Amino acid sequence: MDAPNRADVTTIGACPPVPIVVDGTSLHKHTIGTIGTMPGGEHRKCYDEMVWKRVTARHAGQFVKHVVPAVIKPARVLWNEVIGFLFLCMGVIFGSKSVSLYLDYAKAPSVENAGRLVLMVAGTLLMLYFGITSFLRARKISRS
Extents of the domains making up the chain: 6-143
pLDDT score of 132: 97
pLDDT score of 19: 58
Rounded distance between C-alpha atoms, residue 143 and residue 93, angstroms: 31
This prediction has a pTM of 0.57
pLDDT at 68 over 80: yes
On average, the pLDDT of the chain sits at: 79
